[in-house]
Structure 1
Amino acid sequence: MPSAESYAIGRWSFHPSESVVRSADEERRLENRAARTLAVLCEHRGQLVGKEELIAAVWQGRSVSPNSVAVVIGDLRRAIEDDPGSPLHIVTVNKRGYRLNTASSPVPIDIRRSRRSMLWKSVAVPTLLAGLIGIACTDFQARSQPVDLVVTPVVNETNRGDLEPLSRSLDAVVIDSALRLRNVRVLSGQIRVEAPNSSAWIMRSRLIIWNGAPELAISVVEGGSRRVIWSGFAGGPPESLAKSVADRVATLEARITT
């Protein structure tokens, strides 16, 4: 564990010796493995930390499942990220590991959206000046806008406590898979999108038992109308269920781009 008394991570102050993060009057205690993982990322801030390196430092040679690191990273993001679905602090480096960003403070969500809006205007204005107006321009703009996808936590409906670790692992897999989708802006499952005019999509996942084996039922509905947009099932042995879930979520991309 690093010797520093505390680290600044956005609005949070992380105290490794206490396994806690604090912000103003708010305090969140971290599970031991999560605290150790965050300490390693802080010690190597701005650098890539591989999964094997994290396993060696945190689990110290003990046998772990392939998704153990992803589960702990998911717990950390829920603790320190304003939007765990679009993390600003702990970044995934595809198939290599994770990196704690060097920025000391987060960029507010409304500022990020404002920047996207400014970027869109810089593209749309010359297009309008070129004569692409009316219905054609409106259709182009609509297709260019990313889909807001609210990913809710996986719900274990099996009534089996021994499958709770699998449920938590799949929670991280679903989020990571959603982040890989093109033209999608992944949002926290805590955001309320029940307004009748909401255009956001909500992804819900339920761990169930089908034919004696665990299976993940996934559905996507429109926030305002509750209209079902897409659904799918991912099954197979527990050791291969994560890949099955990732492959199933990837098929949602075809529905988004049509």
Structure 2
Amino acid sequence: MTVRTQWQIGAWTFDADSARLIDGEKQVPLEHRAARTLELLCRDRGRPVSREAILRQVWSGRSVSANSVAVVIADLRRALGDDAAAPRFIATIPKRGYRLGEEAEAADALPQREPAQPRARWRLATACGIALLAAAVFIAGNLGAHHTTVVVTRTANDTGQAGYQPLATALHALITDRLAERGMDVVPTDRGSAPVRRQHMLWLRSRLILWNGISTLSLESIDASGHVTWSAMAVAPPNGLASETIVQLKRFDAKVRGTDQWRWR
């Protein structure tokens, strides 16, 4: 049985054997773990691949830093020209992992279906109506005063050193993914293309700085009126900053939910 090693991703051809993205004469080499991760996403295309599955198969279950997968996903998006705020290829699925989008099938490749019988159509319409009504009741019950949309702006690299930009990018991905995993309504965005301020919306801003020579992530949330509702600083060397950031995100989660007790996976 022949094992597939090439996939089409938009204009790119991903060759797993050579760990490269190819578009005509343009070739982008991928780091080994990035290539393995993309291969997993390709083999399960259209279905979410969990962070645990990636760690188990790419890192062979070894203990690694909390943002290792986020860093690899950020690298892949950058190589593909993808954007976490409006992904065309790699989407973050809250609480489930990451999914590589399906390519559209040619119309003549789709199986032909028999026309639905009147009774079958009536049953389908009834079932859809019931499902829509249930969804409306669920949404109405959950979009109360505590429903908050969190707009996560890009992490600014204010260290004055370009070498810290990959860390800033990885921290932005970490913040977005972890909040989404908690079931929050997360909107990652550029500062210049952010949505209009509305009620029940918080803006979470982050800046990577050097505080007394130590890498520091400054975090603050701002409400629709422009008031700072929460702020914190994660201080640690670059290889420990992800863990400290997660600690602060736990506190932010507690603040948003209006409780002093929280659980974090």
For this structure pair, what is the TM-score category when the shorter chain's length is used for normalisation? Answer: 0.5 to 0.7
Distance 1:175 1:188 in 2: 7
Kept in 2, the 8 Å contact 1:234–1:244? The answer is yes
Q: Which runs of 5+ in 2 are unaligned?
A: 105-130, 259-265
Distance 2:168 2:257 in 1: 29
User: 2:251 corresponds to which letter in structure 1?
Assistant: T
- Deviations 1:39-66 (CA, angstroms, capped at 9, x unpaired): 332124446543252247xxxxxxx966
Distance 1:229 1:118 in 2: 36
Task: Report SS of the residue matched to 2:145.
Answer: helix
CA RMSD of aligned residues (A): 4.2
The alpha carbon displacement at 1:171 in A equals: 2.1
Map 1:30-41; keep pairs closer than 5 Å: 32-33=30-31, 34=34, 37-41=37-41
1:121 and 2:136 matched = yes
TM value normalised by structure 1: 0.62
Distance 1:31 1:148 in 2: 37
The alpha carbon displacement at 1:4 in A equals: 5.3
Task: Report SS of the residue matched to 1:187.
Answer: strand
- Deviations 1:102-141 (CA, angstroms, capped at 9, x unpaired): 8667xxxxxxxxxx9965632488x9xxxxxxxxxxxx85
1:226 and 2:191 matched = no
The alpha carbon displacement at 1:196 in A equals: 5.5
Kept in 2, the 8 Å contact 1:16–1:36? The answer is no
The alpha-carbon distance between structure 1 residues 82 and 194, as it changes in their structure 2 partners (threshold 3 A), is closer
The aligned residue for residue 51 of structure 1 is: 55
Distance 1:160 1:81 in 2: 23
Distance 2:181 2:229 in 1: 19
The aligned residue for residue 249 of structure 2 is: 249
Map 1:175-214; keep pairs closer than 5 Å: 175-182=176-183, 184-190=184-190, 192-193=193-194, 195=196, 197=198, 199-214=200-215
Q: Give the number of equivalent residue pairs.
A: 213
Kept in 1, the 8 Å contact 2:90–2:101? The answer is no
1:16 and 2:20 matched = no
Q: Mark the structure with the bigger radius of gyration.
A: 2
| Percent of aligned pairs with the same amino acid | 24
The alpha carbon displacement at 1:257 in A equals: 2.1
Distance 1:7 1:81 in 2: 18
User: 2:252 corresponds to which letter in structure 1?
Assistant: L
The alpha carbon displacement at 1:216 in A equals: 0.5
Kept in 2, the 8 Å contact 1:220–1:229? The answer is yes
The aligned residue for residue 119 of structure 2 is: none
Kept in 2, the 8 Å contact 1:93–1:99? The answer is no
The alpha carbon displacement at 1:29 in A equals: 8.3
Distance 1:99 1:195 in 2: 28
The aligned residue for residue 42 of structure 1 is: 42
Distance 1:185 1:117 in 2: 21
The alpha carbon displacement at 1:242 in A equals: 1.0
The aligned residue for residue 59 of structure 1 is: none
Task: Report SS of the residue matched to 2:144.
Answer: helix
The alpha-carbon distance between structure 1 residues 247 and 31, as it changes in their structure 2 partners (threshold 3 A), is farther
The alpha-carbon distance between structure 1 residues 229 and 38, as it changes in their structure 2 partners (threshold 3 A), is same
Distance 2:27 2:220 in 1: 32
User: 2:155 corresponds to which letter in structure 1?
Assistant: V
The alpha-carbon distance between structure 1 residues 117 and 217, as it changes in their structure 2 partners (threshold 3 A), is farther
The alpha carbon displacement at 1:194 in A equals: 5.6
